[in-house]
Structure 1
Amino acid sequence: MTTTDPATDPAAPAAREDLDERAAKLDAADPLAGLRDEFIGSETPLVYFDGNSLGRPPRATVDRLSSFVVDEWGGRLIRGWDESWMKLPFDIGDTIGRVAIGAAAGQTVVGDSTTVLLYKLLRAAFDAQHAVDPARVEIVCDTDNFPTDRYLVDGIARERGGRVRWIDVDRSAGVTAEVLSGAVGAETAVVLLSHVAYRSGHLADAETLTRVAHDAGALVLWDLCHSAGSVPVECDAWGVDLAVGCTYKYLNGGPGSPAFAYVAARHQQSLAQPIQGWMGAADVFAMGPEYVPADGMRRFLSGTPPIVGMLAMQDTLSILDRVGIEAVRAKSLALTSFAIDAADGLLGPRGVTVASPRDPGARGGHVTLSHPAMRAVTARLWCEDVIPDYRDPAGLRIGLSPLSTSFAETLRGLRAVADALDAEA
């Protein structure tokens, strides 16, 4: 990794000293600083700005995976299903509910990929609403939502004879109550929104938006992929109907680890999920001639649970249980605020703009920096062990995982961005 020459750095020398001093003070005062050592790779000089896409693995996961292979899989073999594995999707789901998304027990389960779970819940919600009121044929979604969400909305609408009402939004501001109020009505079946926008990091007012949808008689499905484990979520208190979130970002479940689904207890018996598999049947081992759905969250399972994929996330959930999501949010806000201030000083003179909300209350756990050269800058940085990611249009996205990222690492990475911009120029 190169370092910017103070003689040519627009932020040097006073600003450089101020940023170094500020980062050091913030790290010294950080109550979560000691947790950084619990993650593999944190001791290296690599700068990791992609914790919002794939979190670092906890060191405890090495022993957990090894023990599982030797003792549970190797030692217990198929007996493991009766002894613990059949319950694991629900046990871990309840833990996610308690420590990450504000959900009482019996409403969250770990199962398929994010896409599959979104499909199940979105289609189930649409069908249930349409069955009660045939006039409800619309799915509402914003044009800046994550591609999977938009593709699913389009596909389900065509599959079920419905239609999509698209909300055009400011990519740096997200969906507001005023905008949503103008999009929902008597024909709305379900609304699909992301709690934290994948591109800008905008944090939606989920409680208010849920109320707006409910006032129009619609159900709401929240995508929690960029918020679970990073910002406080209160599914029960906010009156959320349905939610889906991934576990490989801030929950550090590993590449492709299975997602979780939340279904409020009041809806569980009335929703028929569309992928009817043996694991969601009332009597899993009866293997009868007809499908009869189980009660509760089991009915939202389909096939055999991916047990190995559920293991790693338990270590981060244990940390979250220990420190509390409010402490994580406080660190996240401090990191992103510091990153924006540093970007203003180091990168602003180089033409970089902040494409994320500056209001901390409207910002999730990542910050997007905009400049026409950011695609090339990202590629250059990866070769130098500085790992952000790129999102069109012209956005370099830095994901600052509060449990494993320091302020000094953040500053080191932003200085590398400045060097890369200079090199591209």
Structure 2
Amino acid sequence: MSSGLPAGVSLRAEAAWLDAADQLAGVRDRFVLDETTVYLDGNSLGALPATVPDRVADVIAREWGELRIRSWTESGWWEAPERIGDRIAPLIGAAPGQVVVGDSTSVNVFKAVVAAVRLAAADSRSRSRSRSRDEILVDATTFPTDGYIAESAARMTGRTVRPVAPAEMPGAVGPRTAAVLVNHVDYRSGELYDLPAITAATHAAGAYLVADLCHSAGALPVGLDEHGIDFAIGCTYKYLNGGPGSPAYLYVRREHQPRFDSPLPGWNSHRDPFAMTPDYAPAEGPARGRVGTPDILSMLALEAALEVWQDVDIAAVRTKSLAVTDFFLRCVEASAPAARVAPLTPADHTRRGSQISLRCADAKRVMGELIARRVVGDFREPDVLRFGFTPLYTSFTDAERAARVLGEVVS
């Protein structure tokens, strides 16, 4: 997204020109935003879509208040986990019938990792292999919860966890590997990892890949079906704007669904849930990933939030993401002393998600001052400033103002 402006034009003027040419600029109006604030924390909590308040009010007043129990059938509550999963599917490169919404990201990581280990064990038995696949490879830079869950899954299944840097995973996976758990985008640095290459190496070794998409879904193309990824999980309150604590999702590749052995079989994932039988018979399709009663209020808020994606091309989102983060880096370079802030996020587009992380010696104080001046990002210990760029509503003017205020604070 080149400006084409003559040399010497100010960054503020260039930002205005880029906003005027931005094909996604109109989508910003679909959100509730305070125009006096630059909000660059959508990688932690997305902004409120304008369609959500009225929808939630209707769910509470009419579907719950008037229809009550009838809404499970008359308002489509029962089918919501799969219906909303199909709304998310195209945003992560999946065909319908492979995504189910519900539970938290942590719970879904547990389901996916244990299911992957069980698939690998079944493969070994069917091929009469004497050596079992006794290790789970985990992204060494992962969000802490993923590591905690992997350790618990390993204890439960008699495996061990081996932390490996994502760049080294293709060479580390081998005949002992049952499953690989990797983040698509690093939550600290914003680095985008080569998920297709890691998946290909995992499959070549006979193991299964579990991808955490929390920091990529809704910000860039993922291509789950295209790249043969086995399982994927992710939250919906970041770039998907589903609201605080909105339910997560679980992707189970279609070919694995008949053998998906969830460690959390609940009545909602039973083939005949209302039969209330003591024996468990798993449902067909993505419903096999359900557990208990869906959290309907937050689930239907998420469904309304996903309406902002109507007519939005995820490829255009990626183009905007790279353009606005490039522009922000240029503005930071022009505004802030290099001795005070240094980019942590790779400049290479093939290795960048949709956030920019900067190293800053007193990051906590600096972020506090930025927020006081109505530029909202966040920080991670010990010295990382994080700025999340949500292409649906972050403008180039936002990027220029944030960098300019950052320069004032650190100078």
TM-score (structure 2 length as normaliser): 0.93
Shift of 1:350: 4.5
Cα contact 1:241–1:267 (8 A) shared by 2? yes
Measured against aligned partners, the alpha-carbon deviations of 1:134-174 in whole angstroms (never above 9, x if no partner) come to 6101110121111111111122212222111211x4xxxxx
* Partners of 2:80 and 2:170 in 1: CA distance: 40
4+ residue stretches of structure 1 with deviation over 4 A?
none
Match of 2:23 in 1: 31
Gaps of 5+ in 1: 1-14, 170-174
Pair 1:135 & 2:132 matched: yes
Aligned to 1:8: none
For 1:362 and 1:181, how far apart are their aligned partners in 2? 16
User: Residues 262 and 288 of structure 2 are in contact (CA less than 8 Å); yes or no, is this contact kept in structure 1?
Assistant: yes
Matched-pair contact (CA < 8 Å) for 2:51–2:305: no
Match of 1:150 in 2: 147
Counterpart residue number, 2:128: none
CA-to-aligned-CA distance 1:254-280 (integer Å, 9 cap, x gap): 000000100001111112111121111
Matched to 1:159, the amino acid is M
Corresponding letter in the other structure for 2:139: D
Residues 9-408 of structure 1 mapped to structure 2, 5 A cutoff: 18-42=10-34, 44-83=35-74, 84-98=76-90, 100-133=91-124, 135-167=132-164, 169=165, 175-176=166-167, 179-408=168-397
Any idea what the Cα deviations from partners look like across 1:371-399, whole Å, max 9, x if unmatched? 11111111222233221111134110000
Quote how far apart the aligned CAs of 1:229 are: 0.7
The 8 Å contact of residues 352 and 370 in structure 1, kept in 2 or not, is answered as: yes
After superposition, give the CA deviation of every residue in 1:318-374 in whole Å (9 maximum; x if it has no partner).
232312111111111111111111111212444211000101222111010111111
1:41-71, Cα deviation, whole Å (9 max, x unpaired): 24x3111110111000011111111122222
Question: CA separation in 1, counterparts of 2:8 and 2:101?
Answer: 46
- Residue in 2 aligned with 1:9? none
Rounded to whole Å, the distance in 2 between the matches of 1:320 and 1:361 is 24
Q: Do the aligned partners of 1:55 and 1:250 also contact (CA within 8 Å) in 2?
A: yes
Contact 1:57 1:254 in 2 (8 A): yes
Which amino acid letter does the alignment assign opposite residue 206 of structure 1?
L
* Percentage of pairs with the same residue: 44
Structure 2 unaligned segments of length 5 or more: list them.
1-6, 125-130
Change (3 A) 1:232 1:199: same
Measure how far apart 1:111 and its partner are: 0.7
Distance 1:366 1:151 in 2: 25
Looking at structure 2, the residues matched to 182 and 403 of structure 1 have their Cα atoms a distance apart, in angstroms, of 37
Q: Give the AA of the match of 1:396.
A: L
The aligned length equals 399
